[in-house]
Homo-oligomer: A and B are copies of this chain.
Amino acid sequence: MSGGRARPDEAGLIARFFRPLATSPGAAELLDDAATVPHAFGKELVVTTDAIVAGVHFFADDPADAVARKALRVNLSDLAAKGARPFGYLLTLALPGRWDEDWLEGFAEGLAADQEEFGVSLLGGDTVLSPAGLFVSVTAFGHAGEGQVPRRTGAAPGQRLYVTGAIGDAALGLMLRRDDRLAAHWDLRRADREALLDRYLLPEPRVALAGVVGSYATAAMDVSDGLVGDAGKLADASRVGAVIDAARIPLSPAAARATRADPAALTTALTGGDDYEILLAIDPDDADAFEAEAAGAGVRVTDIGALVEESGVRIERQGEALSFGAGSYSHF
């Protein structure tokens, strides 16, 4: 965000950078004060909002396209965890005084790329000057099957606990971003280091799994504040407990290397934030069908443990309980 060329006013900025993204008819080409959202018969409309702030959720010098995509993706992750396929979003962009056109062009390019990847349209938004710093708030809209919005509250003892993808990469990536010497300490190869840094920069929301989540999950949420803590939130909301087998928790090759070299990295991996994977409870009778459909959707899912009567989350390794302190990363 260095100074640069002359800058357009707000209307010019919207026309140039954001109008091309407003492909939905209800967005009225961003020329109006509000958008209309079409109803889809037999579907539930699901909405979520999450904001990211420079210095809290991302680094002020992150590439503009990555900031835009992260802001969108953390919301798409919430929708996917509720069984909803996204179709649109509202964007509120608070720009510090020193933005320039190059930055905004990169930001819009990031949105355009993700609109293409995830099939969504910009529906509207607001652009404000923020004396204080860069701030991006997104409200995302999706459709789920009627009665197929899993809450956090539906898990029951005897059900299996699954998680998508791999856990811990983003939290390790954030640590690396803050202290690059950890790459050596964790015995990482160059590709491992890049993979962890990338995963922090750009979450991979499990949009492709949304329909399967809606069909099978008895409870679900996205893992954004650390697996251990978020498993606790899901279990508490459902008034059950969880026993997780540490050996089953899916780790990427990079995270596996780091945790072998430094056992403390395992704590980071399991309690750090920014995974944006989906944690879900599945009835054991449905487990085979769920796994098959998830494979069909191209999303890896792993059975990491069981839901039990006794409250709390217990992480076990060969029958011994591991302890993880607070268990959660707080962005607040």
List 15 A–B pairs whose Cβ atoms lie within 8 Å, in order of A's numbering: A9-B330, A33-B82, A34-B46, A34-B47, A34-B82, A36-B47, A45-B45, A49-B137, A49-B139, A51-B128, A52-B128, A53-B130, A90-B139, A126-B137, A135-B135
B130/A135 in contact, CB under 8 A:
yes
- Residues of A in contact (CB 8 Å), total 60
- Assess A44 versus B51: contact at CB under 8 Å? Given A133-B132, A330-B9, A332-B10: no
B129/A132 in contact, CB under 8 A:
no
- State which residues 48-86 of A face B: CB under 8 Å: 48-57, 78-79, 81-82, 84
- State which residues 119-161 of A face B: CB under 8 Å: 123-133, 135, 137, 139, 141, 144, 149, 151-153
A78/B34 in contact, CB under 8 A:
yes
Find the B residue at minimum CB distance from A50: B126
User: In the complex, what distance in Å separates the CA atom of A4 from the CA atom of B1?
Assistant: 36
- Assess A48 versus B124: contact at CB under 8 Å? Given A32-B82, A53-B130: yes
A36/B81 in contact, CB under 8 A:
no
Cβ distance A61 to chain B, nearest Cβ, rounded Å: 15
Cβ distance A44 to chain B, nearest Cβ, rounded Å: 5
5 more A-B residue pairs beyond the given contacts A34-B84, A47-B139, with a C-beta to C-beta distance below 8 A: A9-B330, A32-B237, A34-B47, A34-B48, A36-B44
- Across-interface contacts of A9 in B (CB, < 8 A): 330, 332
B37/A47 in contact, CB under 8 A:
yes
User: In the complex, what distance in Å separates the CA atom of A67 from the CA atom of B53?
Assistant: 20
B53/A131 in contact, CB under 8 A:
yes
